[in-house]
Amino acid sequence: MANIWSVFSWRHFLVISLAVNVALISKVVYEGESSRGGQTIRQRGGTLILDDVQKEAHFSAGSSSSSTDEEKAIDDGQRVINVYQGDPTMYERLWQQMGDKTSFVIQGGQSMSYFSDVSNLCWFLEPMLAKQIVRLHKLVGNAVTENRHIVVGTGSSQLYQAVLYALSPPDAAEPMSVVSAAPFYSSYPLMTDYLKSGLYKWAGDACSFNKDSPYIELVTSPNNPDGFSRNSTVKGSRGMLVHDFAYYWPQYTPISSPADHDLMLFTLSKSTGHAGTRIGWALVKDQEVARKMVKFMELNTIGVSKESQLRAAKILEVVSDSREDVDYPGKSVFFEFSHRMMAERWRKLRAAVKQSGIFSLPDFPPGLCSFLGRVFTNQPAFAWVKCEGETEDCEAFLRGHNILARGGKHFGDSPKYVRVSMLDRDENFDHLVQRLSLMSSRQS
Ligand SMILES: Cc1ncc(COP(=O)(O)O)c(C=O)c1O
């Protein structure tokens, strides 16, 4: 010990002391600044600002930033880590930093009518929401909005039902087949069949669909659960494509070009993380299809909550506005932050998986993101984890280690896979990577 101290001269102490003081002073100077681990977030008028140094260097918006070392409990393996669902609570921290910027008041006499805009085909769509949807797509460059009808829904889940209703002829001899390439979003088969509709029915993996009859193919890109960017699979000529773009946002994937398809679904849940607001929207080219979707919404819920629509509009407005306050010309600081959070989480997960030696993760090709202006690989909202070696049921294996994740069979794939949510709160995610890293082939 004495030797270590003798290595340091008084000059070393002076330099260190100066550095500590400069750091402390600069921390106090910025009002509302919060420093968490390696990350500094300044708040000016409710707006998140990346510190200049961190723009250049190692900005850490990752999970370690939420809890100090003292707060981090040592994982004893007993706590149940639930990463079964894709609840996007990871984003809470970013929005809490926004303070009052997203608050708004609705008075008792406001927004009472069923109708929002009788001149619009989608008469229950709030004009303010429509405006902010178009504005954000233009800013991010992830979807063409010109010559499209916007249909709003209670989450994109309700719009999914509306799409099936609108695309299935009422008088067909047999129900319309609905397919998606495996592994597919596990809710598709359930949402398609739970009402036992005579109009449509789930027909499974698009890769093995070879009937010479009309079908609806769901193209989810990036895909839930495996995170790959996708195109349609079925080669038949009688198909109608529905593009589910829940994850076509810059925190998950490079934005290559504005998507330009007949029917595209988006949701607030995974773009900004406001899943509880329950707002999704469809961009629909064909007027008759849009009209039938609106009819479905009328019969189903007579429109969509105006309070939710106005909240969604406010949130999207703040996301678009936030670009003007920082040195990111043409970009949105929300996507900068969320992108870096996801990058940090994927870095940690890959390190843990490597250390364990018993799991594997997909590798994604790099792509240039026109919005963020840099090259990166997909960093999906879910990790599609494979149990290597002799473990056949990865879900059961993880359950044995008190980790709850959804097994591959729910997604039409092998039970050697599990889907793990990457969107949980920092604390849960930190425990997850810690536990995975300590699991090894000796325990399997
Ligand atoms: C691919 C995909 N589509 C749609 C949804 C549903 O989103 P919403 O919350 O808008 O109903 C999800 C939710 O996880 C999803 O992963």
**Any ligand 1 atom below 6 A from CB of 338:** no
From the CB of 269, is ligand 1 less than 6 Å away?
A: yes
Say yes or no: CB of residue 227 within 6 Å of ligand 1.
no
Atom of ligand 1 nearest to the CA of 157: 11
157 lines ligand 1 (CB under 6 A): yes
Q: Which atom of ligand 1 is nearest to the CA of 267?
A: 10
Pairwise CA distance, residues 189 & 164, whole Å: 12
Could you count the other beta carbons within 10 Å of the beta carbon of residue 121?
15
- Tens digits of per-residue pLDDT, 213-225? 999 999 999 999 9
**For ligand 1, atom 2, which residue shows the shortest CA distance?**
246
Does the Cβ of 180 fall within 6 Å of ligand 1? Answer: no
3-state secondary structure 116-170: CCCCCCCCCCCHHHHHHHHHHHHHHCCECCCCCEEEEEEHHHHHHHHHHHHHCCC
Q: Is 42 helix (H, G, I), strand (E, B) or coil?
A: strand
Q: Is the CB of 266 under 6 A from ligand 1?
A: no
What value, to the nearest 5°, has the Cα angle with vertex 89 and ends 137 and 308? 55
What is the Å distance from ligand 1's center to 397 Cα? 27
Residue 39 is classified by DSSP as: E
d(CA 285, CA 399): 45
Distance between Cα 443 and ligand 1 center (Å): 35
221 Cβ closer than 6 Å to some ligand 1 atom = no
Cα–Cα dist 48/372, whole Å: 17
DSSP state of 181: P
Q: Look at ligand 1, atom 3, and give the residue with the nearest C-alpha.
A: 246
Look at residue 442 in the predicted model and tell me its pLDDT: 54
pLDDT digits (tens, 9 = 90+) for 269-321: 999 999 999 999 999 999 999 999 999 999 999 999 999 999 999 999 999 98
Give the Cα separation of 432 and 420 in Å (integer). Answer: 10
Residue 247 CA to ligand 1 center (angstroms) comes to 9
Are the CB atoms for 98 and 46 separated by under 8 Å? yes
With a 6 Å cutoff on the Cβ, whether 86 touches ligand 1 is yes
Q: What is the model's pLDDT at position 62?
A: 37
Which token pair is 197? Answer: 């509709």
Low-confidence residues of the chain: pLDDT under 70: 1-74, 324-330, 441-444
E strand intervals along 287-365: 359-360
Q: What is the pTM of this model?
A: 0.85
Task: Look up the CATH architecture of domain 32-97+329-438.
Answer: Alpha-Beta Complex (3.90)
Residue 413 · residue 385 · CB < 8 Å: no
Cβ of 159 closer than 6 Å to ligand 1, yes or no, is no
The atom number, within ligand 1, closest to the CA of 381 reads 16
The domain 127-323: what is its CATH number? 3.40.640.10
Q: Can you tell me whether residue 101 is helix, strand or coil?
A: helix
User: Does residue 156 have its Cβ closer than 6 Å to ligand 1?
Assistant: yes
**Structure tokens given for 378:** 């997909």
- Our mutation pick for probing the ligand 1 site, out of 244, 269, 304, counting the most ligand atoms within 8 A of Cβ, is 269
Minimal CA–CA distance to 380: which of 396, 395, 363?
363
Residue 30: the pLDDT is 26
What's the rounded Cα separation, in Å, for the pair 334 and 4?
A: 45
CA distance 302 to 347: 45
Residue 28 contacts residue 34 (beta carbons within 8 Å)? no
**Which class for 123: exposed (0-12), middle (13-18), buried (19 or more C-beta within 10 A)?**
middle
Q: Is 280 in the pocket of ligand 1 (CB under 6 A)?
A: yes
Ligand 1 pocket residue status of 66, Cβ below 6 Å: no
- Each domain of the chain, given as residue ranges in start order, spans 32-97+329-438, 127-323
Q: Say what the pLDDT of residue 322 is.
A: 83
User: Is the minimum distance from the CB of 82 to ligand 1 under 6 angstroms?
Assistant: no
